[in-house]
């Protein structure tokens, strides 16, 4: 037996030993460019490095907290740069460079500048982040892009040519025409579109289009747009991060697993499959994905070999490329492209996975970003009036924090909790500094030597200076600043503790003002929140809101003086309060001007809306409902979550008993207060001089003790027939027509009738209807 086995081994070794060779060294020829007449496979090396998501932006950068996710952006850039320096044919595209750049030596910076000049390293997109497209305002998108582009222009003298929004979860019209076409980009690329849309585009070769996203602007607003056939990864089998399972090319004949022939065949097959769904003979392979190239040579080594052997084979041509090179090649092919209008919302990647949940995820954070974005606009204007300090307090930190917050895992609300806290901290640091700019600029503009204070916590009716008692001739000066380009007439409100107040304008003329009692709920939350956040006790010294009409010129300010009234005749009107529990009035009419709301006091609900001027009368119904989250698992049974909205049933929120109405009336505005249940409080406002009603609701904490997540919605029903049609804005601009259960580009299979009909709304949604006056 033993002899027998020895014999076998000897024979096997004899058969498989390759012929001896002197050297296994191969000089790979990676110099290929575009070859006309062949299928050209553009290998585009990239690393998608989120500026915060599962880890904070700094944790990702430094490779901290790798137990959450092994990712270190510093490793990516260090290793990519040295790999590019090793071979001048290699290329790489990158979006966020600033953190790494400022830590490099002058010697390395000079080398990197040469890489950028030669086109080996190309900046794409070029903003401070790859912004979300559903939830930000277009001004914030312009600002964050400007900041990033200015950095690239200052340091490298370059302007990015290509939009690269590969990861955001759906694509807005404003992105297409404003942040890409009008910005001067030649092309725009992304991955995520609806799975049904993609299937149709693959079968009709319409993944590459001319996107005309604006209905009103001309040809400068349209852009060549490429949608990837799968995602922003390489085709299957061509991932080469150190732990990836793709087969490397083994071309040393001394090694047992020599596989050049087979890998070249795999490459050609994948290329032909993609060429089959593409109109030109150029195809792009996105060589990389999230946080890849931490050891860049691992990728470049394989791409070097593929380019070398595939081009020796000759069936297709493989080359190192970038989206700009690809764009030039595709334009040179001079094809006709299909036209795409509208936008790419909503996005579903599978039947039950509509990514419409993030439109409302982390509403508190979304609100914070939104209010600071308005504040930043005003602060920047005031900074300009006064003159900017480059070292002293300025608005730069707020600008940076806001820019970062537009990232597709920031304002979208899809980041982990500690990451959300990190973004909020940056915003708050920026805000604190900008407050100083605003204070000194306003003091200069108003030639005031008074101590000024701002009240960022007005949202919880907390403002110590306005809550002081104005005795001994002390008074409060309120400065209202208007950052918009048109005059504003608005009612301002500040919390006060005294009843005996009068408001005068800067000429000393008395202004009509009204005191409204602060509702119990907001008093309770103020006390609780001030204690929780500021650690001080604010036991509700504010008892009223003092409301007065302010008129502020465009890009200007008005001042108002609040002081103790000398006589009862001159003081603010104290609102009259009526609660439906007290009397037996059947119909309660609210509103002092053209618009009236009529409530049924007995039932505690709105029954009528009437506008005296345009004679519109309707019977709107305002109710609250909740969707119960589908309690599935992450992938297989698709749960409802921060990204994906998947409701499992709609339930009305019915008050336990009849809800009393509290009606507050005064010369400027009327309010109707309703405590619908322990966690839902609603205020409806009608201003004398305005023709719309304002509904404010305070919701939370949402009860989840039954084990189900809930999405609370307010529902406005009317008898108007809108024919399933409505219009929603795009990042605060334009309106896009939407039809329920319908898509203009393909025949929609409806699997999620609720989640599939949600669209992002920044500020307005409307319906059109015909009505006749009888």
Per CB under 6 A, residues contacting ligand NAG are 29, 31-32, 64-65, 68, 272-273, 276, 311, 364, 368, 418, 456-457, 459-460, 467-469, 497, 520, 529, 541, 630-632, 648-649, 707-708, 723, 739
Phi, psi of 499 (to 5 degrees): -95, -20
Q: Which of 103, 723 has the CB closer to ligand NAG?
A: 723
Whole-angstrom distance, CA of residue 189 vs CA of residue 167: 10
- Least distance from C-beta 418 to ligand NAG, angstroms? 4
The least distance separating ligand NAG from the CB of residue 350, rounded to whole angstroms, comes to 16
Q: Are 208 and 246 in contact (CB under 8 A)?
A: no
Residue among 317 and 356 whose Cβ is closer to ligand NAG = 317
- The Cα–Cα gap between 349 and 646 comes to 13
Nearer to ligand NAG, 145 or 406 (CB): 406
Pairing mode, if any, of strands 162-164 and 187-190? parallel
CB closer to ligand NAG out of 59 and 187: 59
CB nearer ligand NAG, residue 497 or residue 563: 497
Q: Which long-range contacts (CB under 8 A, 24 or more apart) does 221-224 make?
A: 221/177, 221/178, 221/181, 221/182, 222/177, 222/181, 223/163, 223/176, 223/177, 223/180, 223/181, 223/185, 223/186, 223/187, 223/188, 224/186, 224/187, 224/188, 224/327, 224/330, 224/331, 224/337
User: How far apart are CB 700 and ligand NAG at their closest, in Å?
Assistant: 9
| Residue 505 beta carbon to ligand NAG: minimum distance, rounded to whole angstroms | 25
- 293 vs 681 by CB, closer to ligand NAG: 681
Are 197 and 746 contacting, i.e. CB atoms less than 8 angstroms apart?
yes
Tell the smallest beta-carbon distance from residue 103 to ligand NAG (Å): 20
Give CA separation, 347 vs 351, 490, 627, 713, 759, in Å.
11, 38, 20, 21, 10
Which runs of consecutive H residues, i.e. helices, occur in 69-130? 73-86, 98-101, 106-118
Nearest of 638, 634, 652, 623 to residue 710 by alpha carbon: 652
Minimum distance from CB of 64 to ligand NAG (Å)? Answer: 6
Name the minimum Å distance from CB 620 to ligand NAG: 21
Select 82 or 520, whichever has its Cβ closest to ligand NAG.
520
Nearest 10 degrees: Cα torsion 418, 423, 425, 429: 170
β-partners of residue 737 are 727
Of the candidates 247, 173, 187, the residue with the CA atom closest to the CA atom of residue 217: 173
* 18/753 with CB nearer ligand NAG: 753
Tell me whether residue 177 or residue 630 sits nearer to ligand NAG (CB atom).
Answer: 630
Residue 520 or 614: the one with the smaller Cβ distance to ligand NAG is 520
What are residue 240's phi and psi, to 5 degrees? -130, 30
SS3 63: coil
Going through 241-356 in order, the beta strands assigned E by DSSP cover 282-287, 317-320, 339-341, 348-350, 353-354
Nearer to ligand NAG, 469 or 576 (CB): 469
Q: Which is nearer to ligand NAG, 171 or 738 (CB)?
A: 738
Question: Minimum distance from CB of 160 to ligand NAG (Å)?
Answer: 28
| Angle at CA of residue 203, ends 199 and 207, nearest 5° | 75
Beta carbons of 361 and 642 less than 8 angstroms apart = yes
Q: Minimum distance between the CB of residue 6 and ligand NAG, rounded to whole angstroms? A: 48
Check if the beta carbon of residue 609 is closer than 8 Å to that of residue 693: yes
Q: In the bound complex, what is the minimum distance in angstroms from residue 29's beta carbon to ligand NAG?
A: 4
Q: Which of 32/115 has CB closer to ligand NAG?
A: 32
Question: Under a CB-based contact definition with an 8 Å cutoff, are residues 711 and 647 in contact?
Answer: yes
Tell me the C-alpha distance between 659 and 676, whole Å: 6
Report in angstroms how near the CB of residue 594 gets to ligand NAG at its nearest.
Answer: 29
Q: In this structure, what token pair is assigned to residue 192?
A: 């995520």
Least Å distance, CB 748 to ligand NAG, is 13
In the bound complex, what is the minimum distance in angstroms from residue 432's beta carbon to ligand NAG? Answer: 11
Can you give the three-state secondary structure of 544-575, one letter per residue? EEEEEEEEECCCEEEEEEEEECCCCCCCCEEC
| Least distance to ligand NAG, CB of residue 316, Å | 12
Question: How many helices (DSSP H) and strands (DSSP E) are in the chain?
Answer: 16, 35
Q: How remote is the C-alpha of 516 from its chain's centroid? A: 36
Tokens of residue 119, six digits: 């086109």
Q: Which is nearer to ligand NAG, 276 or 614 (CB)?
A: 276
For residue 158, count CB atoms less than 10 angstroms from its CB and return exposed for 0-12, middle for 13-18, buried for 19 or more: middle
Nearest residue to ligand NAG by CB is 707
């Amino acid at each position: 037996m033993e002899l027998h086995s020895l014999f076998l081994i000897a024979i096997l070794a004899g058969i498989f030993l390759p012929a001896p060779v002197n050297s296994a060294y191969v000089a790979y020829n990676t110099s290929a460019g575009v070859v006309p007449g062949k299928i050209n496979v553009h290998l585009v090396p990239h690393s998608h490095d989120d500026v915060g998501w599962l880890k904070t932006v700094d944790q990702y950068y430094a490779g901290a907290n790798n137990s959450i996710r092994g990712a270190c952006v510093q490793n990516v850039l260090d290793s990519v740069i040295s790999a590019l320096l090793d071979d001048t044919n290699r290329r790489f595209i990158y979006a966020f460079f600033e953190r790494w750049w400022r830590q490099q030596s002058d010697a390395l910076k000079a080398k990197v500048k040469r890489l950028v000049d030669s086109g080996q390293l190309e900046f794409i997109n070029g903003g401070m982040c790859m912004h979300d497209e559903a939830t930000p305002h277009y001004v914030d998108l312009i600002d964050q892009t400007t900041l990033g582009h200015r950095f690239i222009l200052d340091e490298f003298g370059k302007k990015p040519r290509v939009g690269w929004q590969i990861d955001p979860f759906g694509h807005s019209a404003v992105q297409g025409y404003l942040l890409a076409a009008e910005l001067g980009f030649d092309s725009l690329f992304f991955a995520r579109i609806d799975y049904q849309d993609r299937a149709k585009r693959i079968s009709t070769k319409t993944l590459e289009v001319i996107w005309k996203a604006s209905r009103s602007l001309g040809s400068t607003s349209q852009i060549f747009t490429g949608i990837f056939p799968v995602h922003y990864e390489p085709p299957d089998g061509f991932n080469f991060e150190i732990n990836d399972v793709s087969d490397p090319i083994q071309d040393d004949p001394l090694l047992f697993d020599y596989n050049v022939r087979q890998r070249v065949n795999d490459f050609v097959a994948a290329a032909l499959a993609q060429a089959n769904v593409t109109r030109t003979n150029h195809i792009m392979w996105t060589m990389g994905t999230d946080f890849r190239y931490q050891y860049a040579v691992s990728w470049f080594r394989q791409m070097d070999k593929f380019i070398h052997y595939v081009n020796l084979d000759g069936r297709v041509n493989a080359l190192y490329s970038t989206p700009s090179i690809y764009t030039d090649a595709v334009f040179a092919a001079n094809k006709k492209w299909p036209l795409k209008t509208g936008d790419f919302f909503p996005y579903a990647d599978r039947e039950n996975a509509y990514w419409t949940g993030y439109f409302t995820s982390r509403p508190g954070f979304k609100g914070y970003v939104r209010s600071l974005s308005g504040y930043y606009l005003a602060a920047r204007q005031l900074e300009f009036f006064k003159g900017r300090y480059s070292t002293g307090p300025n608005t730069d930190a707020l600008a940076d924090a806001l820019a970062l917050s537009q990232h597709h895992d920031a304002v979208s609300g899809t980041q982990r909790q500690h990451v959300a806290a990190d973004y909020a901290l940056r915003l708050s640091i920026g805000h604190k500094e900008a407050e100083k700019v605003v204070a000194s600029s306003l003091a200069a503009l108003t030639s005031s030597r008074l101590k000024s204070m701002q009240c960022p916590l007005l949202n919880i009716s907390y403002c110590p200076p306005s809550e002081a008692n104005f005795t001994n001739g002390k008074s409060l000066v309120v400065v209202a600043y208007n950052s918009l380009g048109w005059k504003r007439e608005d009612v301002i409100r500040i919390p006060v503790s005294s009843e005996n107040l009068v408001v005068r304008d800067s000429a000393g003329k008395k202004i009509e003002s009204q005191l409204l009692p602060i509702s119990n709920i907001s008093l309770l939350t103020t006390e609780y929140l001030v204690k929780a956040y500021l650690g001080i006790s604010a036991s509700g010294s504010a008892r009223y809101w003092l409301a007065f009409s302010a008129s502020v010129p465009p890009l200007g300010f008005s001042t108002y003086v609040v002081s103790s009234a000398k006589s009862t005749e001159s003081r603010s009107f104290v609102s009259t309060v009526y609660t439906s529990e007290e009397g037996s009035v059947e119909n309660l009419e609210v509103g002092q001007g053209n618009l009236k709301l009529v409530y049924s006091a007995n039932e505690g609900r709105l029954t009528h809306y009437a506008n005296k001027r345009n004679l519109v009368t309707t019977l709107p119904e305002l109710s609250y409902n909740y969707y119960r989250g589908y309690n599935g698992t992450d992938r297989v049974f698709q749960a409802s979550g921060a990204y994906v909205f998947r409701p499992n049933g709609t339930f009305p929120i019915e008050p336990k008993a009849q809800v009393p109405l509290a009606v507050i009336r005064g010369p400027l505005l009327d309010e109707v207060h309703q405590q619908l249940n322990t966690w839902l409080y609603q205020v409806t406002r009608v201003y004398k001089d305005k023709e719309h009603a304002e509904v404010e609701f305070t919701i939370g904490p949402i009860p989840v003790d039954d084990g189900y997540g809930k999405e609370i919605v307010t529902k406005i029903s009317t008898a108007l027939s809108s024919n399933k049609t409505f219009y929603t804005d795009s990042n605060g601009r334009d309106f896009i027509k939407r039809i329920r259960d319908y898509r203009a580009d393909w025949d929609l299979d409806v699997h999620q009738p609720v989640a599939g009909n949600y669209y992002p709304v920044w500020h307005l949604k409307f319906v059109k209807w015909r009505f006749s006056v009888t």
